[in-house]
Structure 1
Amino acid sequence: MNTLSLWRGTAAPTGYAMLSGDVTCDVLIVGGGITGVTLADLLAEQKTANPPKVVLLEADAIGTGTTGNSTGNLYETLSSGLREIHAKWGAEVARQVADERRTAVNFIEERCRLLPDVGFRRCDLVEWADRAHNDAIRKEIEALTAAGCAVDRGTTIPAPLPPAEGDVLVLRNQAQFQPQAYVVALAARAAQAGASIHEHSRVLEIDHKARRAVTAAGSVTAREIVMATHTPKGVHLVHTEMPVHREYAIAFEWAPDGPPGPGTFWWKAAEHLSIRTLQAGGRHYLVCAGQEHKVGIHNATAGMIALENLARKYFGDRPVTHRWSAQNYRGADALPYIGRNHSDCFIATGFATDGLTWGTVAARLIAAELLGHKSAFADLVKPGRLSPVKGGKNILQENALVVTQLVKDYLTQRQNEKLSELKAGDSAIVDAEGETVAAYRAPDGELFAVSPVCTHVGCKVHWNSVETSWDCPCHGSRFRPDGTVIEGPALAPLKRKHTPDLAGGGSAPA
């Protein structure tokens, strides 16, 4: 299945050179999404006698990770509701969160004035529910009001959106943009200001003590390392605290003046649906994102089909032009983790599905600290905090799930298929010559066989039929059929296996 997102499919390409050789710098940024690119831009624009020398390494191309697979919505609240922050942390922290995120959206708007064709627009965020979830909408209106947000209470929703069965929350003056176009343009601005940006430069090894990162063709030694990789690479304590989910999205062409018009629309019913429009290249699209699914233990195809059926129910049977998904990591106590962690490197993670705004917050906080101006808000979101009252239950549940999955897979997850019986497009965990392998036969007949053991902490990977990837249910590492790392905390690829291909007469490389 083609899973190129609408944003990536309608944005300009990039062409930064791969890292070659050994270099030194003041700040190494690992990750070319909105967090890393914004940080590179903030540091590179410094007009001082000795501005920091910045190197940014991106494993693929700028923005092609979570940023380019998001929904492009910007808002001061949270997708799970500001009421969650209010309940766990109190009214004052909820106000601080809304203020910090509002400031980040304003910052993005200011940057967009300097960048070409990034599709920024101000609009309302509208949230409503079915009858069973009306109480959550009421509590969210109360929490937003207490935090000083410009929220109104409505009663109706324009067709063909799902009808309202109670209060309608209208949060004024939020925003949207084209996230891929934004980071591509912002990276160009950072590079012009002096940042060294390298694509297709995956970090294979990080020596935190020596402040050195190694790629296939070179290395970077830095005074400071920032892991702007959505979840930090390697083994970190925060991995034990964060549930990992994927959210699927689709787009199809839509009437230029058709409802619902500009806005971010969240239907928070038994079946969640996020809706917005986009105009790009003279064409108009409607974007729908569905419910979250636990990485590695859900049926990806079923999740995508459920979203398409829900979209057809309300918007008609239209040809889908784009399908994609994105991964998110949720902080145990509803706040992200931003700042130095136990490795003495900077991390930025735990954004849930609010990463475009949180990523901008993170870049601004980290830039301030690197430049000697640490923000008071940074103490609230610092890694290493642990509040048993606020996040202890979620941490215990997440670690219990990891242990359960690890034990269950090692005891039960083998299938009866043989390698020789795998048809084109099929995948399976199979026994081959006394060894368990994760096998996939591509549409052209080529067989890929790799170790099913995730290189992060040893859990067993599961097949994702939508993304054509092996996904780890423990901490969200994902791998291509040939074992190459796609995303997540894993640094090393899945080991290729040498297995006779009885059907094709060949073998997978060792």
Structure 2
Amino acid sequence: MDTLSVWRGTAAPTGYAMVNGDVTADVLVIGGGITGVTLADLLAEQHTANKPKVVLLEAGEIGCGSTGNSTGNLYETLSTGMRELVSRWNTDVARQVANERRGAVAFIEERARLLGDVGFRRCPLVQWADQALADAMRKEFEALAAAGCAVERATSVPSPLPPAQGEVLVLPGQAQFQPQAYVAALARRAAEAGAAIHEHSRVIALDLKARRAVTATGSVTAKEIVIATHTPLGMHLVQTEMPVHREYAIAFEWPADAGPGPGAFWWQGSEHLSVRTMQANGRDYLVCVGQEHKVGIHNAKASLLALEMLAKKYVGERPVAWRWSAQNYRGADGLPYIGRDAEDCFIATGFATDGLTWGTVAARLIAAELLGHKSAFAELVRPNRLSPVKGARRIVEESVTVVKQLVKDYLTHRQNEELASLQPGDSAIVNAEGETFAAYRAPDGELFAVSNVCTHMGCKVHWNSVETSWDCPCHGSRFRPDGTVIEGPAIHALKRRHAPPLGS
């Protein structure tokens, strides 16, 4: 199934060369999403005598990860609800968060003016729920107001959205843009200012003590390393605290006059649905997002189908033009992890589904610290903060999930099929000659057989039928059928296994 997002499919391509040979830098940025590219731009635009030399390594293409597979919504609140943040922390922290995120949206607006047409527009964020969540909406209004957000009440939502059965919350002055177009244009700006940007330069070895990252075609040694890969590569303590989820999205071609108009529309009913419109290349689209599930232990195809059925219940039967999904990692206490960690490198993770805004916040905080101006907000989100009470439940839940998957998969045989029965398009955990491995038969008959043990921490991988990948349920690493890494924290590929051809 083609899972290219509407953002990546309608934006101009990028074309940066792979890193070649051994390179030195003041700052190495690993990851070409909104966090890494914004940071590279901020550092490269400096006009001081000690302007840092910046190198950015992207494993695929700029924006190909969570940035180019997001919703394109920008807002000062949080998708999990400001009420949850207030309950975990207090109204002062909620106010700081709203202020920092509001400033990040304003920063994106300023950059958008410099970059040309990246689809930026100011619009409201509208939230409503079914009757069962009426009390939650009331508490959300109170939390938003306490955080200093200019929240308003309404009684209805525009067609064709699910009808409101209670209170409707409206947060004016939020924003939307074309995230892929934005990050690609920002990368060009950073490169023009002197940052060295390299695509198709996956890090295959990372020595944080030596400050050296190795790729298939070269290496970079730097004074400072920033891991802006959504979850940090390799082993980091924060990974034990973060649940990992995938959320699904579809886009229909949609008449511009059919509603609902500019805005981010969040419905919280028996199921969650996020809706927005967008325009690209002379066409209009309706983007619908929902069905968030734990990575590796859900049926991806069923999730995507459920989203399509829910969306079509309100927009009618029409063909889906684009289908995709994105991964997110949640901080245990409701806040992200941004700053220098115990490994003495900078990380930026735990953004939940608020990554476009949090990624911009992270880049600004890290840039300030690298340039000698550490922000007060940086102390609140530092990776090594200790908040056991605020994050205890989520840390325990995540640890239990990891242990369950380790025990379950090592004591049971999943999809225990014979290799000879594997037909084109099928996948399974198979046994052959006393060995167990993950196998996938491509539509053309080619067989891919790899170790079914994740190279990060040894969990067993599970098949994702939508994106044709092996996904790890413990910390979210994902691998192609040939074993190569799609996204970390794993750095090393799944080991290839020898397998006989079809019919042998």
Partner of 1:451: 451
Partner of 1:344: 344
Unaligned runs of 5+ in 1: 506-510
Equivalent residue letter for 2:282: G
Query: Quick check: 2:224–2:345 contact (8 Å CA) kept in 1?
Result: yes
Take 1:158 and 1:31, find their aligned partners in 2: how far apart are those partners? 38
Alignment of 1:87-486 (within 5 A): 87-486=87-486
CA shift digits 1:75-104 (9 cap, x unpaired):
000000111111111000000000000000
Query: Quick check: 1:248–1:290 contact (8 Å CA) kept in 2?
Result: yes
Alignment of 1:495-510 (within 5 A): 495-503=495-503
> Could you tell me how far 1:53 is from its partner in structure 2?
0.1
CA shift digits 1:261-287 (9 cap, x unpaired):
000000011110000000110000000
Take 1:414 and 1:249, find their aligned partners in 2: how far apart are those partners? 28
SS at match of 1:257: helix
Query: Quick check: 1:419–1:501 contact (8 Å CA) kept in 2?
Result: no
> Could you tell me how far 1:156 is from its partner in structure 2?
0.7
Equivalent residue letter for 2:179: P
Instruction: Count residues with an aligned counterpart.
Output: 504
CA shift digits 1:356-386 (9 cap, x unpaired):
0000000000000000000000000000112
Q: Decide which moves more: 385-394 or 230-239.
A: 385-394
Q: Decide which moves more: 296-305 or 408-417.
A: 408-417
SS at match of 1:114: helix
Q: Decide which moves more: 157-166 or 466-475.
A: 157-166
CA shift digits 1:233-256 (9 cap, x unpaired):
001100000000000000011011
Take 1:493 and 1:287, find their aligned partners in 2: how far apart are those partners? 34
Find runs of 4+ consecutive structure 1 residues off by over 6 angstroms: none
Equivalent residue letter for 1:380: L
Take 2:207 and 2:245, find their aligned partners in 1: how far apart are those partners? 29
Partner of 2:77: 77
Take 2:220 and 2:123, find their aligned partners in 1: how far apart are those partners? 42
SS at match of 2:122: strand
Partner of 1:2: 2
Q: Decide which moves more: 330-339 or 249-258.
A: 249-258
> Could you tell me how far 1:135 is from its partner in structure 2?
1.2
Equivalent residue letter for 2:321: T
Equivalent residue letter for 1:187: A
Query: Quick check: 2:477–2:486 contact (8 Å CA) kept in 1?
Result: yes
RMSD of Structure 2 on Structure 1 (CA): 0.7
Equivalent residue letter for 1:135: D
Alignment of 1:12-27 (within 5 A): 12-27=12-27
Matched-pair identity in %: 77
CA shift digits 1:146-200 (9 cap, x unpaired):
1111110111112221011110000010000000000000000000000000000
Query: Quick check: 1:414–1:431 contact (8 Å CA) kept in 2?
Result: no
SS at match of 2:436: strand
Partner of 2:31: 31
SS at match of 1:113: helix
Query: Quick check: 2:424–2:445 contact (8 Å CA) kept in 1?
Result: yes
SS at match of 2:428: strand
Q: Decide which moves more: 326-335 or 492-501.
A: 492-501
Take 2:165 and 2:387, find their aligned partners in 1: how far apart are those partners? 37
Take 1:298 and 1:415, find their aligned partners in 2: how far apart are those partners? 15
